[in-house]
Amino acid sequence: MAVKPTEEQQAACDAFTMGGDLALVAGAGTGKTSTLVLMGSAARKRRGVYVSFNREIADHAKTVFGPNVECRTAHSFAYRAVGRRYADRIQKSAHLPPAETARRLGLRRDLVVNGRVIKINHQARLVMGMVRRFCYTIAETVMARHLEPVNGLAPDEQDYLAAVLHPYAQRAWEDIQAPHGGLRFEHDHYLKMWALTRPTLPGEFVLLDEAQDTNPVLEEIFLSQQAQRVCVGDPAQQIYEWRFAKDVMSGFPATQLRLTKSFRFGPAVAEQANRWLEHAGSGLRLAGFEARSSRLAELPEADAVLVRSNNDAVAEIIAYQQLGVPVELCGGGNALRRIAQAAQQLKEGKGTSHAELFLFRTWEEVQDYVEHDRTAADLRTLVKLVDTYGPDAIVQAVDWLAPKGQGEVVVSTVHKAKGREWARVRIGPGFHPPMPDQHDVPQPIRLDEARLAYVAVTRASDTLDMEGLSWLDEHEQQLAALADDGGTLDARLIALPLTKQLAYPGAPVSRFVARHLPTVQAVRDDYLRRVADLPQAVQPLDVRSPNWPCLGHVIDYRLRLSLGSLLGGAVPYGVLLVQDENEPLRGTAPRGAARKSLGVAGQELLERLAAYRRLPEGTDEDELARLCYVAAQFERVYREGSIEATSLFAGLRKEATLDGLLARVPAYVVDDVAAQMCLARPVFEHFWQLPPEKIKCAPVPEGATDLGGADGDFVLDGLLLDCKATLYPRRIGREEIYQLAGYTLLDYTDTFGITSVGFYLSRQGALIDWPLEDFLAILGANKPADKLRKLIKSELWQAGRQCPDLPLRINGLH
């Protein structure tokens, strides 16, 4: 007997039968699979495909969908089209020894990087790993940045290693594509090869499941289809971003519908889920199933304990084993065993072949590395695990694990628990509230952490013990105080710059745009439609870790210089900050004579840029790019109040000169700026012909002094333009759109004569703009710009009365 669909399920089915694209946000336990089956049944006369990245999910789908829907994984489609031609290689090369891989790659000798020896076997593994990581991306060629992090090497040393191995990775990809190549052939290889053919899926409609955690390759294929597209999932359950997974759903330009009735748990658990949905920035709110009497309670005995990390899992496992309780670990303990055994080998001075530790000779070297290297966060967690329990205790705990299905309790990280449910769930250790900032302002919970907590609490169907998340009540009270009109913390928020105010729902600017410009998603939908067919971004190919923040500043500066302008106020402020030796700088700042000389070099930089403005013919493009890159280092000093480890200024011990700094600018910077300037020509040709009075670079609106600062990129003949040097234009969203609105409305008396607004995407050479009236209308404004300007001025003035002395210099001015 067929189950009657809910109103939401029926609405989704009706929308599907209309033939348009559809994004169905399905909360935890809301019956998304049954809804998809309903859609397939409603389209019996049409043939469609159901696509999942997970084989188990696809196999289950085959048992519930009708004959008109072909259910396959992405790999299955790829194998049928491409992979079967390589079937023999998949089998024969599965166990190719590392030494033979190195020989076939042409790796002949060990490589020494700053005294650390990388043997050819490890070089071969790293090269094949570069190809594997490339296959997870939408890139069209293997790049140096596809090298995995190598523990034990500093960032510049990893860049060197990536540059050395990059040609071998390119050679490996060529071999893999050859029908009779000799290297190991993996399933992700033919998936990537298929994706590069721009395939069309065989159906009149395409159903994409688990769309919130989609492989980027599959995302690109799905978005390129001309058939009706339906993506289903829960963006608040996106927890595999660290594994390259992308959320297709958020911003997908289609009819957006929701499934909110959860059949997994009752109202009590739904209430907790909704709290975390709020912190995850989701508009979804769940309704619990009234027939389920779910409750919150302390659980002396749980079916599952969900923790944040492997460290926390080991703590729980050992505690249960000491009580004599049979416990199983979701996913098994082999990875823990390997790390413990590798640690023991290092403690004995024997070295190890473990992929994360192979460069170290002793455990003391590992400990020293994680203590002093800020990039070693993941390894630091493993070191803490070993140092807390010892290798023997970890191995013993793994040996004593109960087989799958035979434990009285399951311990699992949240990542491994995704897709599962238990009657009684206790939230274990490892989840922590965010630390307040330097002004003691409570910080919002990170979106990825909130999503993880949401997944955790929604694994319970009967009883939920919130032990590990019990801090949420107090933290929400602190955040609520930020939003109280008239509260003292509100005065701190008014002192934040425009961009940072948009991160706080209780900040004055955020409250204003939420009330007066409520339909930001409509602008994003329009934007996404217009960027759907843009070419891939130009970008450095042979560098593992380009300095992206500085590169973003550099192209901005170069465009300003091309328009006859200087760089804006942040660079000279950064120079002044370095020159003021009474102003402490965090991070790896130089001291004494080195700092003084850096201030002198900064002054010379400003003078040389001013000279270029007077006589542009005297400086070539190479030097200009280098000058802009050094300038970007000073802007980062100003905005961050520190000198970062990746800065040209980091750890300077000798006196600096400007020419010396220019010589240290990486070559990729020059090439990257040249590529972007080439793309800019068709768009900026018109702007370069404008008279000076129609060009405003780094415009600071009047209202910037009513908060902690606001400066735009350009106003060109009435067009407010925000330059974005992003590799992924589809990620531009709410805050970036509201920035355009904020800059516009803070120009209280229309000093800049703004008549249109837009984004310039410098790595794609694309201009996406709107007439101002249209932009505000799509945002849902019910008043014209001049009225909105008066309103925001009044509201900021009222908020500012609580904060009469705004800082003269705010780090993070935007």
Boundaries of every domain in the chain: 7-82+197-261, 85-192, 278-479, 484-542+682-814, 544-665
pLDDT at 59: 93
180 CB-near residues (< 8 Å, 6+ apart): none
Q: What are phi and psi of 251, to 5 degrees?
A: 85, 0
Residue-wise pLDDT tens digits, 363-402: 999 999 988 777 777 788 889 999 999 999 999 999 999 9
pLDDT at 154: 86
Helices in 540-620 by DSSP H: which ranges?
A: 548-562, 570-579, 592-614
Q: Is the pLDDT of residue 39 over 50?
A: yes
pLDDT at 443: 85
Of the candidates 600, 661, 655, 652, the one whose C-alpha atom is nearest the C-alpha of residue 630 is 661
Cα 448 to Cα 227, 375, 570, 600: the distances in Å are 32, 19, 31, 43
Given a contact cutoff of 8 angstroms between Cβ atoms, the answer to whether 504 and 493 are in contact is yes
Mean pLDDT of 678-701: 96
Of the candidates 152, 147, 149, the one whose C-alpha atom is nearest the C-alpha of residue 359 is 152
DSSP β-ladder status, 48-52 and 205-208: parallel
Residue-wise pLDDT tens digits, 590-639: 888 999 999 999 999 999 999 998 888 877 899 999 999 999 999 999 98
Residue-wise pLDDT tens digits, 407-435: 999 999 999 999 899 999 999 999 999 99
Residue-wise pLDDT tens digits, 165-207: 999 999 999 999 998 899 999 999 999 999 999 999 999 999 9
Of the candidates 109, 107, 116, 121, the one whose C-alpha atom is nearest the C-alpha of residue 153 is 116
Of the candidates 563, 648, 668, 553, the one whose C-alpha atom is nearest the C-alpha of residue 602 is 648
% pLDDT > 90, the chain: 74
Token pair, residue 13, equals 């089915």
Token pair, residue 387, equals 């140092």
Q: What are phi and psi of 608, to 5 degrees?
A: -70, -35
Given a contact cutoff of 8 angstroms between Cβ atoms, the answer to whether 417 and 459 are in contact is yes
Average pLDDT, the chain: 91
pLDDT at 613: 87
Token pair, residue 548, equals 């992206």
Q: Is the pLDDT of residue 54 over 50?
A: yes
Of the candidates 212, 152, 168, the one whose C-alpha atom is nearest the C-alpha of residue 25 is 212
Helix (H) or strand (E) holding 81: helix 74-81
Given a contact cutoff of 8 angstroms between Cβ atoms, the answer to whether 784 and 755 are in contact is no
Mean pLDDT of 91-102: 86
Per-residue exposure over 753-791, b if at least 16 CB sit within 10 Å of its own CB, e if not: ebebbbbbbbbbbbbbbbebeebbbbbebeeebeebbee
Task: Using DSSP, state whether 411 is helix, strand or coil.
Answer: strand
pLDDT at 653: 79
Q: Which residue has the higher pLDDT, 172 or 655?
A: 172
742 CB-near residues (< 8 Å, 6+ apart): 498, 502, 509, 513, 710
Task: Using DSSP, state whether 228 is helix, strand or coil.
Answer: strand
Q: Is the pLDDT of residue 243 over 90?
A: no
Report the distance separating Cα 468 and Cα 723, nearest Å: 42
Q: Can you tell me which residue has the tokens 């009234």?
A: 290
Given a contact cutoff of 8 angstroms between Cβ atoms, the answer to whether 87 and 187 are in contact is no
Helices in 178-249 by DSSP H: which ranges?
A: 187-195, 216-223
CA 371 from centre of chain: 26
Q: What are phi and psi of 218, to 5 degrees?
A: -65, -35
Report the distance separating Cα 571 and Cα 628, nearest Å: 10
Given a contact cutoff of 8 angstroms between Cβ atoms, the answer to whether 11 and 30 are in contact is no
Extended strands (E) in 114-227:
116-118, 205-208
pLDDT at 811: 35
Q: Which residues pair with 287 in a beta bridge?
A: 261
Given a contact cutoff of 8 angstroms between Cβ atoms, the answer to whether 755 and 718 are in contact is yes
Q: What is the DSSP letter of 246?
A: B
% pLDDT > 70, the chain: 96
Residue-wise pLDDT tens digits, 569-592: 889 999 999 999 888 888 888 888
Given a contact cutoff of 8 angstroms between Cβ atoms, the answer to whether 569 and 711 are in contact is yes
Mean pLDDT of 434-461: 90
Of the candidates 787, 247, 190, the one whose C-alpha atom is nearest the C-alpha of residue 517 is 787
Cα angle for residues 771, 777, 783 (degrees, 5° grid)? 110
pLDDT at 804: 54
pLDDT at 583: 87
Report the distance separating Cα 373 and Cα 158, nearest Å: 13
Q: Which residue has the higher pLDDT, 482 or 775?
A: 775
Q: Is the pLDDT of residue 557 over 70?
A: yes
Residue-wise pLDDT tens digits, 16-26: 999 999 999 99
Of the candidates 387, 375, 338, the one whose C-alpha atom is nearest the C-alpha of residue 358 is 338
Report the distance separating Cα 239 and Cα 418, nearest Å: 9
Q: Which fold has domain 7-82+197-261?
A: Rossmann fold (3.40.50)
Residue-wise pLDDT tens digits, 479-522: 887 665 444 445 667 888 999 898 877 789 999 999 999 999 89
pLDDT band at 318 (very low <50, low <70, confident <90, very high): very high
Report the distance separating Cα 516 and Cα 788, nearest Å: 8
521 CB-near residues (< 8 Å, 6+ apart): 251, 256, 734
